[in-house]
């Protein structure tokens, strides 16, 4: 196995060459293998050719929309995304998190902060996957609800039509938590504790964004959810009829 095989690969997506150079230099000094892309087309080509561990993504790619790229990537792959952008508007941060970004760092940034955030997100993904696997009652644990089927060990979700639905690591882990505790009202603190591996911060509202993303993939009308319901002032409850297979 070559040294590159042992390295985690970071894809930098930014239309500013100076920013890409700064990030490349800092990340390579920390032992990462680094790829670059100046636009979404180049980024998709890199992701298609390489096993990318994490992507840093500028919100504005010249005349392109970084959020559009994030949306397309999330539909195809479960690759961690950290948005690094000069836009400081809180709405952009919220939209980015709802689309599946794992963290958000505004420009100008400190390189040591970027490295720390990247390592934290990578640990989170590995730890989340390990915890979800270890938390299963059996190797072949499967659930069904409202025509949907979920295979915990294979980490597969199929809709009532039998089509496979792709969920991110965080979305799948959240669904697994709900399936293990159907009908029980879970506060945000409960969910944060059960979703071990995530480094939540005080007053963290990204759990709400995660629930919103899961709803969009499960609910015919995510604005009027029937499966993941909000219990005002408390948290959430999975209202689907769950059975083990």
Q: How far apart are CA 216 and CA 59, in angstroms?
A: 22
Roughly how many angstroms between the first and final C-alpha of the chain, as a whole number?
41
Pairing of strands 142-145, 103-106: unpaired
For residue 85, what is the enclosing H or E element?
Answer: strand 81-85
Torsion, Cα 10 11 16 18, to 10 degrees, reads 30
Q: What is the pLDDT of residues 170-197, one digit of tens each?
A: 888 899 999 998 888 888 878 877 776 4
| One CATH from 1.10.10.10, 3.40.50.1100, 1.20.1300.10, 1.10.3860.10 for 139-244 | 1.10.10.10
What is the pLDDT at residue 158? 94
Q: What is the DSSP letter of 8?
A: P
For residue 233, pLDDT over 60 is answered with yes
- Rounded Cα distance, 211 and 126, in Å: 21
- pLDDT digits 0-9 by tens, 23-74: 999 999 999 999 999 988 899 899 888 889 999 998 777 666 677 788 777 7
- Of the candidates 58, 66, 148, the one whose C-alpha atom is nearest the C-alpha of residue 107 is 58
Q: Who's near 66: CB < 8 A, 6+ residues apart?
A: 13, 40, 57, 58, 59, 60, 83, 85
Phi-psi region of 62 (alpha: psi -120 to 50; beta: other; left: phi over 0): left
Q: Which pair of tokens denotes residue 7?
A: 């390295």
Q: Is the pLDDT of residue 75 over 60?
A: yes
Residues 213-224, mean pLDDT to the nearest whole number: 85
Indicate the domain borders of the chain.
9-130, 139-244
Q: What is the pLDDT of residue 127?
A: 52
Query: In the CATH scheme, what architecture does the domain 9-130 have?
Result: 3-Layer(aba) Sandwich (3.40)
């Amino acid at each position: 196995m070559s040294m590159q095989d042992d390295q985690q690969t970071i894809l930098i997506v930014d239309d500013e060459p100076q920013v890409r150079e700064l990030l490349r230099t800092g990340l390579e000094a920390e032992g990462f293998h680094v790829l670059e892309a100046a636009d979404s087309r180049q980024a998709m080509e890199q992701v298609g050719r390489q096993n990318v561990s994490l992507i840093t993504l500028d919100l504005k790619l010249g005349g392109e929309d970084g959020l559009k790229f994030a949306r397309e990537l999330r539909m195809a792959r479960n690759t961690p995304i950290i948005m690094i952008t000069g836009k400081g508007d809180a709405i952009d941060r919220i939209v980015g998190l709802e689309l599946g970004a794992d963290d958000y760092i505004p420009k100008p940034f400190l390189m040591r902060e970027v490295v720390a955030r990247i390592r934290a997100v990578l640990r989170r993904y590995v730890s989340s996957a390990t915890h979800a696997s270890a938390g299963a009652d059996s190797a072949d644990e499967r659930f069904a609800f409202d025509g949907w089927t979920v295979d915990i060990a294979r980490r597969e979700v199929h809709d009532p039509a039998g089509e496979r639905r792709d969920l991110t690591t965080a979305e799948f882990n959240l669904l697994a938590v709900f399936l293990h505790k159907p009908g029980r009202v879970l506060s945000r603190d409960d969910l944060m504790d059960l979703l071990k591996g995530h480094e939540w911060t005080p007053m963290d509202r990204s759990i709400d964004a995660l629930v919103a993303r899961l709803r969009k993939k499960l609910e015919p009308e995510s604005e009027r959810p029937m499966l993941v319901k909000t219990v005002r002032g408390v948290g959430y409850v999975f209202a689907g009829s769950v059975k083990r297979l």
